[in-house]
Amino acid sequence: MAPAPLFPVPPGEDPDDRPVVIDRREGPYGEVVLRRHGDLFQIIANGCFLMDTSDGRSERRLITAAFETLDTHGGGRDAPTLLIGGLGVGFSLAEAAAEPRWGRIDVVEREPAVIDWHRDGPLGAVTADALADPRTRLHATDLLTHLRRNPATYDALCLDIDNGPDWTVTEDNDSLYTPAGLAACRAALTPGGVLTVWSAQDSADFPRLLRNAGFTWVTAQEVPVVRGTPDVLFLASHHVASPIT
């Protein structure tokens, strides 16, 4: 028997109907829209589809890949600290909070509407327990602003910002994937810490940019999706405790 959908279609609503706009706002970085299409919720930014609640395996893998890398090669640290960049539909945060071995979990999200959709809206079905977890802290700010103003370092940075390094919907998100932005990420990591970056597509140039930013180990993982080309996760570290193969 198939599992019940996380977001069942309301009674009387045809799941094959056109998407229904739940909320539309002009935010600080452009228009953001939450739509419902059958049993799915979708986030649209500046007219471009960003994500939905159809699958989430790559968003969850963003977290588990970081933990596995730390667990295997990070020196056996206890209660590693985690920063999640981008709340999205919440799958990454939910995955992190489900792992009791994580320590502090900071989440940075700059779109007020997205935060509201989780705190008081339908996306709370994904993250209510995770946001209530005492390890979780939600920061309503831009990622690079948070890193530059916050002296804390993290064992893992897991970033799901826009559609990835080669496909940004909001122009100022480009700065994250510049040498300066990647250097800020590296500086925020503890020695042997790991950076994971979600992307909707592969990027031939991004591994070189990571190495140029000071990461001594870089690799990529493809994650199959229900439809279309696989998502890609880029993993990077510096000053690793032991060789990574």
Digit-coded pLDDT (tens) for 91-148 = 999 999 999 999 999 999 999 999 999 999 999 999 999 999 999 999 999 999 999 9
Rounded CA-CA distance 218/195 in Å is 9
Written as six digits, the tokens of 4 are 């019940």
Written as six digits, the tokens of 207 are 């591994």
- With CA atoms as reference, report the closest residue to 109 among 60, 154, 161: 161
CA distances from 171 to 29, 107, 118, 219 (A): 9, 22, 25, 26
Rounded CA-CA distance 132/128 in Å is 6
Q: Which residues pair with 84 in a beta bridge?
A: 107, 158
> E strands within 55-202?
82-85, 105-108, 136-139, 154-159, 189-199
Domain ranges of the chain: 57-237
pTM of the shown model? 0.89
Written as six digits, the tokens of 70 are 């730390």
Q: If you average pLDDT over every residue of the chain, what do you get?
A: 88
Q: Does domain 57-237 have CATH number 3.40.50.150?
A: yes
Rounded CA-CA distance 165/84 in Å is 16
Written as six digits, the tokens of 135 are 């390890």
